[in-house]
Structure 1
Amino acid sequence: MTRLAMHLPVAVALALASPVFAQDHSKHDMPGMSSPPASDHAGHDMGHQPHHTTPDKPAQPEPPHEHGKMHGQDAPSAHAGHDMSAMSPDEPVGTNQPAGNAPAPRPPVDHYADRQFPPAEMAHARHMMMRESGGQTIATLMLNLAEYRARKGRDGYHWDGEAWFGGDINRLTVKAEGEGLFQGCVEAAEVQALYSRAIGPYFNLQAGVRHDFEPGPSRSYAVVGFEGLAPYWFEIEGALFLSDKGDLLGRLSGYYDQRITQRLVLQPRAELDIAAQDIPENRIGAGFSSAEAGLRLRYEITRQFAPYVGLSHEARIGRTARLARADGEAATSTSFVAGLRIWF
């Protein structure tokens, strides 16, 4: 009995331990995990679990492809629906793919406001905006020179102005210029009517007619010329004149506005006349016929209204100077000038 009592605790302990070793792992259903069959666990290192081997059956090295299955690299459940074998390292993906032939998407609505307001009213508003942004028709009248000239014994006057009507590209331009004496008559007067066409941001090409009222006999000319803003802000103007008698004349003029202050402006100005042949009835000789150079200082009370003072020197050149001396006239003259520059 004594020996039986000694072996009874050992038997009870073995009976309690035997169900633990007899458990089947296939009966365990843990959420999120699917356990492979018991036969697949042979020879695998299960994380922190010890690797059990039996003395009569040494552990076998795991195949390379089996290890990937345990870590989910090739598990069918992780890549369901993906054809991984169809992808090649050199196959273009994303934006590297060739352009397709699918139709382009529809552009956004150009005039979104038409959805909220009557389209006819919005079309009229857009038309007015385009006109006000450069397509409008406007008119300008500018009197560049309207001055009194004080000369020794020959005080006189001089005017030079233009008016134009039109837009930024096409304009009708009228120019007028002349001079005379207070104690005499008008010595020179001309009017030009020109079509002006913009040929660039800074220059206009002009063509039309000119008529000289004085000196007599009067002449009419066909005109081709240009005007514009040269580099460094020089305003220049040039023209050729072919008269109804076959006389060919040319003229080149320019000026520059040098701002001393925002209101005080110094303006040098020059003009040169050329004749292709002698015109005895108008006392003009071939070649360079006359030149004028002036310097005027103006004060702009407003941009549109500016009084000025200055000096002007006129000279007849070459054959024209000889014709003037033959008539008892001086070939050169210098004048003190005072006048107004007005535009509106």
Structure 2
Amino acid sequence: MRIINLFAMSTLSASLLLLSGQSFAHEEHHAMSMSGQQRQPSENIPMDHSQHQKMSIAPQVVVEEKQVSPPQHAHSNSDDFAYKSDQQFDHAAHLKEHGGQIYQQTTLETKWQRNDNDEGQGALKSELETRIGTDENKIFIKVHADKVESHQTEYDAKLLYSRKVADFWDLQVGLRYRNDPNRKIDQDQVDAVFGLHGMAPYFFETDAYLYIGQDRQVSFNLETERDLLITQKLIVQPYLDMNIVLSDDSNYAKKNGLNSVQVGVETRYEINKKVMPFMDLAYGYNKGVQETAWQKSSSSENELFYGVGIRFKF
């Protein structure tokens, strides 16, 4: 009985091994057949060499397109031109915003003035000043006329170039023309002018001029003034006008040294920034003239002046 059982167990084991071997061989054969089918199309499908040729030519076309593109330097020139144009525009805008703009201002003043001496002569004084230019460079035109009673009008005109040399200060150079029809000779004269125009400390507006003319006529003139506000419209302005003669060998020579001084106070009322009536009160000193073939010597005089006037600005 034990022998029969062993025989049965051996038979069953052999059958199982046989069945498992056939299944493994069948799966291996199926896997090999599947891999063969997958490789077969790639080996048997003919290649389209025309497509391959097109794909290989395409990069060359791109390279040729890059070669016929516009030269790089032309593009850079246009960029440089645009950059320079922008720079010029920015420079012009900078000048306009920081003192590069051109402006103009004209002041016209007329004053009737009398003195307190025995004769009590009156004089009509008129002044015109025009300036045009930028903060750096300007042209000044100044005209001054005096008409004393029983005398003809005498006047002088200055044409000055003004250049900014420091904050609040301009250096000026130009010419002055003088005309005095009351003289018998030398009625017309021309002088060279060198000056300084600006704002002195404590807001004193100052003009200092050196005049050099014919017949060794050399003189120095100083004018300074300051505004003191009583109200926004009522303004008091003390001023000083001084003339020093350094040398004069002309036919109508003035005495050397401090030749004339006028110290005064002007009180004006500004109706607006364009119309300003005023009153003037001043003390004056005049040293006189030398004796020549065309005039008699005169002594020094001290006078008190008073007057009224009106000033226009536009």
| 1:162 has 2:132 as partner | no
Amino acid at match of 1:242: I
| 1:138 has 2:107 as partner | no
Amino acid at match of 2:231: T
**Aligned residue-pair number:** 223
**Aligned residue runs from structure 1 range 73-84, under 5 A:** none
The 8 Å contact of residues 279 and 285 in structure 1, kept in 2 or not, is answered as no
TM-score (norm 2): 0.63
The 3-state SS of whatever aligns with 1:130 is: helix
Give 1:240's match in structure 2, choosing from 189, 210, 223. Answer: 210
| 1:227 has 2:191 as partner | no
Provide the rounded CA distance (Å) in 1 between the counterparts of 2:91 and 2:112: 47
Partner in structure 2 of residue 320 of structure 1: 289
Shift of 1:126: 4.8
Shift of 1:327: 5.9
1:49-101 per-position Cα deviation (integer Å, ceiling 9, x unaligned): xxxxxxxxxxxxxxxxxxxxxxxxxxxxxxxxxxxxxxxxxxxxxxxxxxxxx
Amino acid at match of 2:94: M
The 8 Å contact of residues 289 and 321 in structure 1, kept in 2 or not, is answered as no
The 3-state SS of whatever aligns with 2:251 is: helix
The 8 Å contact of residues 111 and 124 in structure 2, kept in 1 or not, is answered as yes
The 3-state SS of whatever aligns with 1:311 is: strand
The 8 Å contact of residues 296 and 311 in structure 1, kept in 2 or not, is answered as yes
Shift of 1:119: 9.0
| 1:176 has 2:146 as partner | no
TM-score (norm 1): 0.58
Give 2:246's match in structure 1, choosing from 261, 276, 281. Answer: 276
Quote the RMSD (CA, aligned, Å): 2.9
Shift of 1:279: 4.0
Provide the rounded CA distance (Å) in 2 between the counterparts of 1:121 and 1:224: 40
Partner in structure 2 of residue 291 of structure 1: 261
Compared CA separation, residues 149 and 321, structure 1 to 2 (3 A): farther
Gaps of 5+ in 1: 1-117
Task: Looking at secondary structure, tell me which structure has more helix per residue.
Answer: 2
Amino acid at match of 1:136: Q
- RCO higher in 1 or 2 (8 Å CA, sep ≥ 6)? 2
The 8 Å contact of residues 252 and 290 in structure 2, kept in 1 or not, is answered as no
Partner in structure 2 of residue 208 of structure 1: 174
% identical equivalent positions = 23
Compared CA separation, residues 277 and 119, structure 1 to 2 (3 A): closer
Partner in structure 2 of residue 257 of structure 1: 227
Shift of 1:159: 2.3
Task: Looking at secondary structure, tell me which structure has more strand per residue.
Answer: 2
